[in-house]
């Protein structure tokens, strides 16, 4: 059984920083793309950042230059460093990964979500 377990998040003042982590565990043959999404109340879930297996990255327009996604393939972990946080960044953040288990085809997995609150 594969699962993604998130850590990090919490309350931060505007302009502050937070780091999210997401570790995949279980029977894993391979992981391709990993990503972070967020969902604010009353809004659709949106892509924040994504990173491929060869570490190519892409970011949502609203976070470019402030957030950095990275991964440690040896640890099956993806990170999201969030700097210069704004109140509009406040949301529940979810990690996502395409994982092949037991050499079967890739399927998407989701983390449990973590709240990020930006407030003074």
- How much is the pLDDT for 15? 98
Q: How many CA atoms lie within 13 A of 64 on its CB side?
A: 6
- How much is the pLDDT for 120? 93
> Using CA atoms, how far apart are residues 75 and 22, in angstroms rounded to an integer?
10
- Name the residue with tokens 């992981």: 31
- Name the residue with tokens 């502050």: 16
The answer to whether 95 touches 112, Cβ cutoff 8 Å, is: no
- How much is the pLDDT for 103? 72
- Sign (positive or negative) of CA dihedral 71, 8, 25, 36: negative
Q: Which residues of the chain have pLDDT under 70?
A: none
pLDDT digits (tens, 9 = 90+) for 50-64: 999 999 999 999 999
**DSSP string covering 7-74:** E--EEE-TT--EEEEEEEESS-SEEEEEEEEEE-TTS--EEEEEE-TT--EEE-TTTTTTEEEEEEGG
């Amino acid at each position: 059984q594969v699962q993604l377990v998130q850590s990090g998040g919490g309350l931060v003042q505007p302009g502050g920083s937070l780091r999210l982590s997401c570790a995949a565990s279980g029977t894993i043959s391979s992981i391709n793309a990993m990503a972070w999404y967020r969902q604010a109340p009353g809004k659709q879930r949106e892509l924040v950042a994504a990173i491929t297996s060869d570490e190519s990255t892409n970011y949502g327009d609203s976070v470019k230059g402030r957030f950095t996604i990275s991964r440690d393939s040896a640890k099956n972990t993806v990170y999201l460093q969030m700097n210069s946080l704004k109140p509009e960044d406040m949301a529940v953040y979810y990690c996502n990964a395409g994982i092949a288990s037991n050499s079967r085809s890739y399927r998407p997995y989701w983390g449990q979500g973590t709240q990020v609150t930006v407030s003074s």
